[in-house]
A and B are shown apart, each in its own frame.
Chain A
């Protein structure tokens, strides 16, 4: 699915960092070429019309330009971070809702373990392991994971659509998450 001329994942991270450091328009162009069509594809999968998906993909890439200094490659890959930017813009612009989320600088925030200094090196391996783990999910688990990201419905509605008890959907999801987290090394 990935075109052979797409930059490798580490290069994608570097492109975001280049934008943060020097507002590098060439880096933006390369990122746009890679991500804008994928964001558009993601939004179309979510049921958004082609025209709206195109606008929102463009807005997402402009938000990437604006927020690049907030990207921390020790915490997330460029794909993961750009996914969250697209997700939040969709909630804001299409659903007209706020996106309540925690703030690590908040005085009531309970800190956990910070990512290790070598996390940067590991992120790309993790993403590769994650893709393998996603591909190895059972068809039932993969279906629930896909619908969780692309059906834009609560799990009760997913269960109803599949004609399954809610408990079955939850347990498939739980099993899928155990396998994913094992691949990522984030099981407790």
Chain B
């Protein structure tokens, strides 16, 4: 598996710095599980965080802070490094996504919303939503554009639009300038993890599917 489409540095940094919301980290963190090169980038970004922390102007702690912390130490049990457990059968949804589904993709109760399209909402924070979307071979969600940015991570199968082909691990970022009509590849169902931070705009009235997907 070679991943060809990665999140932009701004999303990796949002994850590394902690500025990104849970929605961004769910999709970026799931991509990272599948993408060693992006993990190297994020490690460099966390190292930047460490350097900034090391160089920051210290703010004096109150006189009792250390002693009150020291008084608690004996009551704190140490965490142990996680042991690799027995290998599980191959899974499609890596952590952190699997915790949000409470299992693998086969556990998802899909909600049909149009011909060949179903979805399952996972997370909503302020304006951003994350959902799983499942499309049948040849099916699509229609022509649309975005008011904000949309991130779409392929978990299984693939889809193709004017910007290219996307397979497992590939992450597509769409912006308001992009009008696209993703169509599912012919080789099977495609499951994606998608985040939108603003409602989508429809280019044609036949696409009621998207209205249901994104809540209007």
Q: Which residues of A contact B (CB under 8 A)?
A: 1-3, 9, 20, 23, 25, 28-29, 32-33, 35-42, 44-45, 50, 53-54, 57-58, 61-62, 65-70, 75-77, 79-84, 86-88, 90-91, 97-103, 105-113, 126-127, 130-131, 134, 145-146, 148-156, 169-170, 173-174, 177, 180-181, 184, 186, 188
Residues of chain B within 8 A (CB-CB) of A65 are 73, 76, 78
Cβ-neighbour of A130 out of B47, B60, B85, B94 (below 8 A): B47
User: Does the CB pair A154–B66 fall under 8 Å?
Assistant: no
Besides A54-B62, A148-B19, A170-B8, 14 more A-B contacts (Cβ < 8 Å) are A28-B69, A32-B66, A36-B65, A41-B56, A58-B61, A69-B81, A100-B97, A100-B99, A102-B30, A103-B82, A107-B87, A108-B94, A110-B1, A134-B48
Known interface pairs A84-B46, A108-B90, A151-B19. Does A25 touch B70 (Cβ–Cβ under 8 Å)? yes
Say whether B44 contacts A181, CB under 8 Å.
yes
Contact B49 A80 (CB under 8 A): yes
In the bound complex, do residue A148 and residue B17 qualify as a contact, i.e. CB atoms below 8 Å apart?
A: yes
Q: Are A82 and B53 in contact (CB under 8 A)?
A: yes
B contact set with A: CB distance below 8 Å: 1, 8-10, 13-14, 17-22, 24-26, 29-30, 32-37, 39-41, 43-62, 65-66, 68-70, 72-73, 76-85, 87-100, 125, 148-149, 169, 197
Q: Are A2 and B55 in contact (CB under 8 A)?
A: yes
Chain A to chain B: the 6 pairs with minimum beta-carbon distance, closest first: A112-B36, A80-B50, A37-B58, A100-B96, A108-B94, A79-B50
- CA A110 to CA B65, docked complex, whole Å: 42
Residues of chain A lying within 8 A (CB to CB) of residue B77: 66
In this complex, the member of A61, A77, A101, A151 whose beta carbon has the largest number of chain B beta carbons within 10 angstroms is: A101
User: Is there contact, CB below 8 Å, between B50 and A127?
Assistant: yes
> Chain A: which residue is nearest B53 at the CB level?
A83
The residues of B that contact A77 with a CB separation of less than 8 Å are 47, 50
**What B residues does A112 contact at CB under 8 A?**
36-37, 39-40
Partner of A101 from the list B19, B61, B96, B100 (CB cut-off 8 Å) is: B96
A98 surroundings in chain B (CB, below 8 A): 22
Which listed residue, A38, A108, A156, touches B33 by the CB 8 Å rule?
A108
